[in-house]
Structure formats: C-alpha cells, structure tokens
Amino acid sequence: MLNITGLDGAHISRSAKMAGIEYIVLKGCKYLGKHKIYKEGEKTESFDSFVAIVSHITTNARDHMINLMHKTKRENVFYIDTDSLTVNETGYNLKDELDEFELGRLQVQEVANNVEIRGAKDYKFGDKEKIKGIKKDAIDLGNNQYSQLHFMKTRSMMRNQISDKAVVKQVTKKLKRIYDKGRVQETGFVLPYVLPQDLSLLTAS
C-alpha cells in the first residue's frame, strides 16, 4: 500500500459499491494499492485529445460507405458494416473501387451462395457465422441461447476480494435478435426512421 503519512488531504475510504474494498483518496485521485483507479471531478477531454478529429474521420467513413451503397444501388446491398458491404452479383459493379493493395480501396473477402442476416454483426455467410459477443467455441443451446466461458471482470473480482488469480465461469447468453434500428419490411430490407412521423416507434417501451 502507499504510505500516506503526512500527505495533505490523503485519507482511506471504503467503497459503497465494492463491499470490503478500501482505497486511498489523494488529491482527487483514487488508488488501490499503488495503482490509480480514477480521478474524481468534472468529465473533460483527456490531455492532447481532440474529439473533432476522430468524429470527422468516423463521419467521413460512414459517408463513404453510404456513397458506395448508392453507387451499387440500394436494392443490391444486403448488409453494411464499418468498412464492408455485402452485395448480390448485380451489386458487384464496384469494380473500379477494387484494389487489394491500395489503402482505402475495397477487396473481395468472401463469396457465398447462402447468406442469413439476423441483425448488426449477427449473420451467417456461407459456412461462416459471426455473432457479436458469442465466441466461436460457444455451445448453441437453441432458442437464441449460447453457453460459453467468461472471464470475471475486475470489479467483480475486487468485490469478491480476488487478486491472485483469474476466474473463468460458464455463462449462458440469450440473444433478443430484435432489429430496431429501422423499419423492417416484409422483403427483409430496412427503411430508416423518419422524424417526427416515426417518433412513437422509437419511444415505445
């Protein structure tokens, strides 16, 4: 532990959320042992950070993906992720955008005859399946439930006063698989919400 003798304003406190865990408060910073947990005060930007730069980069990337979707025509695009599109054979008219070596260009990653899209980052492309939050070795229990190993988080380990080992337990995850980022049509295509007309759909519990 830190030696706080004689340090102005230093005192030992006990966490309300983490029963039995003591930490040191020194000049607005919380320490557990010699490790700083976090600093109290108003939430501000970190030193040397500039949110406008990363916001512009992210927005520009999304704008670029939307332009690619319009270029290949919306009805030919099945799915868009951060930096990729899933299109049909007709939508493969982006050949002038393809270059597997040039940075920022597209490249063909995979081709499949069967694709099942269940939601954002939740799809089956041919024999390959990707489900956000579900590990590849998870056990499919059916009814959108999966069993997998899960490492206990730091806060839970602190609450249980565990500091000398990693704890792994078997957990069961149930996926809702309800797509609510747009209006899903009978054809499977999704239309964006339009405000204020669709406000009731967005605020419904």
- Are 15 and 57 members of one domain? no
Whether 76 is covered by a domain: the verdict is yes
Q: What is the pLDDT of residue 157?
A: 82
Whether 186 is covered by a domain: the verdict is yes
Q: What is the pLDDT of residue 2?
A: 44
> Mean pLDDT for each 10-residue chunk of the chain (205 residues)?
44 47 56 52 76 91 92 91 90 86 89 92 93 95 96 84 86 92 89 90 77
Whether 77 is covered by a domain: the verdict is yes
Q: What is the span of the domain harbouring residue 14?
A: 1-44
- Are 59 and 117 members of one domain? yes
- Are 16 and 34 members of one domain? yes
Q: Where are the beta strands (DSSP E) in the chain?
A: 11-14, 22-26, 29-32, 35-39, 77-80, 85-87, 115-119, 122-125, 128-131, 139-142, 145-151, 168-174, 183-184, 190-191
* Global confidence as pTM: 0.67
Cα-only R_g, the chain: 25
Q: What is the pLDDT of residue 91?
A: 84
Q: What is the pLDDT of residue 60?
A: 92
Q: What is the pLDDT of residue 82?
A: 86
- Are 85 and 186 members of one domain? yes
End-to-end alpha-carbon separation of the chain, Å? 48
Q: What is the pLDDT of residue 32?
A: 54
Domains: count for the chain: 2
- Whether the Cβ atoms of residue 148 and residue 139 lie closer than 8 Å to each other: yes
Q: What is the largest CA-CA distance in the chain?
A: 74
